[in-house]
Amino acid sequence: MSTQIGTASEFRLDGKVAVITGGGSGIGRAIAFKFAANGAAVRVLDISQKDAEAVATEILNRGGTASAHACDVSNPQQVGSTFSAVARQGPIQILVNNAGVSHIGTAESTSEEDFDRVLRVNVKGVYNCIHAGIGYMKTAGGVILNMASIAGSAGLADRFAYSTSKGAVVAMTYSVARDYIGYNIRCNCISPARVHTPFVDGYLRKTYPGREQEMYDKLAKTQPIGRMGEPEEVASLALFLCSDAAGFITGVDYPLDGGFMNLHG
């Protein structure tokens, strides 16, 4: 019996095409850079053509392979045509469903309009992309990685619509993993706690003008580890889960939470 010493090469994505939704900013942007640096041909999908092109251009300037695609994940026709265009460039082996929106409110304070908007992007958007993309993976297999949140399995205050949507993403992950295991398609999700993204900075500027640093520190300390996560840390876990090194992992929700779920309180 021989034992091989693993190398970093097992985490590489050489020769694989990865579609990343919401790839123009925040966590999606970090995943796009990480995947490209490890050999993937990255298809950056974002509702903002400008943001998608900025990320794709930076990847190309670093010697990687990327293309930009404007795509509103809540629009099934647009998703279908975008995936069709991407598939013409080469077979899709990896789909990262990262695009999403946030919302603050309780069941009482959340309007029907806001509730529908959150579910349209965070739930229907994931469905639209899986529905459009998974058929391209059935021949040779592939990996689907969904971005959930600890809000989907923990009761976070004032996050009624967001928590509902992310709970659905976790359930969709389990369902897809079970239904497509026979096609060699793996499906997992990552559930981050608070991650320091431009969205967080914008929220603090808008909600707590003049108190941004104070409120940032307060939010950071809600994680037992004492800080927020960084987009690059989410990207590192995403790289592992989408690589061949994670070939025995499917149907799992991975908390990435600085100890929030198990050490809180």
DSSP H or E run through 94:
strand 94-97
In Å, what is the CA distance from 253 to each residue of 76, 174, 234? 26, 8, 13
In contact, 93 and 142? CB cutoff 8 Å:
yes
In contact, 20 and 42? CB cutoff 8 Å:
yes
Sequence-distant (6+) residues with CB within 8 A of 92 are 17, 19, 43, 83, 86, 133, 136, 137, 142
Please give the pLDDT value at position 263.
84
Please give the pLDDT value at position 5.
55
Q: How confident is the model at residue 1 (pLDDT cuts 50, 70, 90)?
A: very low
Residue tagged 């077979």 (tokens):
91
Query: Tens digits of per-residue pLDDT, 36-48?
Result: 999 999 999 999 9
Helix (H, G, I), strand (E, B) or coil at 169: helix
Q: How many CB atoms lie within 10 A of CB 185?
A: 21
Q: Which token pair is 52?
A: 């998608």
Q: For the chain, what percent of residues have pLDDT higher than 90? A: 89
In contact, 170 and 176? CB cutoff 8 Å:
no
Mean pLDDT of 171-195: 97
Buried b (16+ CB within 10 A) or exposed e, 111-130: eeebbeebbbbbbbbbbbbb
Please give the pLDDT value at position 265.
56
Q: What share of the chain is helix, strand, coil (3-state, %, to 5)?
A: 50, 15, 35
Q: How confident is the model at residue 127 (pLDDT cuts 50, 70, 90)?
A: very high
In Å, what is the CA distance from 216 to each residue of 27, 87, 196, 222? 18, 41, 9, 10
Q: Which token pair is 169?
A: 């993403």
Can you give the C-alpha Rg of the chain in angstroms? 18
In contact, 176 and 144? CB cutoff 8 Å:
yes
254 is catalytic: no
Query: Tens digits of per-residue pLDDT, 60-85?
Result: 999 999 999 999 999 999 999 999 99
> Does the structure show a pLDDT above 60 at 27?
yes
Q: How confident is the model at residue 205 (pLDDT cuts 50, 70, 90)?
A: very high
Q: Which residues pair with 229 in a beta bridge?
A: 195
Catalytic-role residue among 127, 136, 162, 180: 162
Overall pTM surpassing 0.85 (yes/no) = yes
> Does the structure show a pLDDT above 80 at 189?
yes
Please give the pLDDT value at position 2.
46
Question: Closest Cα partner for 56 from 12, 24, 13, 80?
Answer: 24
